[in-house]
């Protein structure tokens, strides 16, 4: 399974990538949404984890761009954020398939993601 991670914080990016690779996921990381969107023009992923608070393009703007490309309609889009809501809306109302709260719990992160993906696949 290929997972794209977008986060401008280098430590968060390294931690998430480490935890996912430890579970044998194929992980591609980006510090900006623009880099990720350029990569996604020619490549596919099963899951994208998007930090909400990003410079230049925030996570909501990145999500909206990804949703415009029909090739990524089956890709799971997950927000990674310290927030429970964004401007009064839940992340599912905005269009994410789910969200994982920061700070990342290194003991539970991979399990949390795996449980989410298994539940999504059973729906």
Q: Which domain does 70 fall in, by range?
A: 2-122
pLDDT tens by residue, 75-95: 999 999 999 888 999 999 999
- The pLDDT score that the predictor gives to residue 23 is 92
Alpha helices in 41-108 (DSSP H): 59-68, 91-94
121 has a pLDDT exceeding 80: no
Q: Which tokens go with 52?
A: 């909400």
Q: How many domains does the chain have?
A: 1
- The pLDDT score that the predictor gives to residue 69 is 94
**Dihedrals φ, ψ of 24, to 5°?**
70, 25
pTM given for the model: 0.94
CA angle 50, 44, 94 (to 5 degrees): 35
3-state secondary structure of 100: strand
Domain containing residue 50: CATH number: 3.40.50.2300
pLDDT tens by residue, 40-78: 999 999 999 999 999 999 999 999 999 999 999 999 999
| Residues 3, 46 contacting (CB under 8 angstroms) | yes
């Amino acid at each position: 399974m290929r997972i794209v991670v977008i986060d401008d914080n280098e430590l968060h990016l390294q931690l998430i990538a480490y935890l996912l690779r430890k579970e044998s996921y194929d992980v591609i990381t980006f510090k900006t949404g623009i880099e990720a969107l350029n990569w996604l023009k020619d490549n596919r992923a099963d899951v994208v984890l998007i930090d909400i608070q990003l410079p230049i393009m925030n996570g909501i703007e990145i999500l909206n761009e990804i949703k415009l490309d029909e090739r990524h309609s089956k890709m799971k889009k997950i927000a990674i954020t310290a927030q429970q809501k964004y401007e009064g809306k839940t992340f599912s109302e905005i269009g994410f398939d789910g969200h994982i709260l920061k700070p990342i719990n290194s003991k539970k992160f991979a399990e949390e993601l795996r449980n989410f993906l298994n539940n999504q696949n059973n729906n």
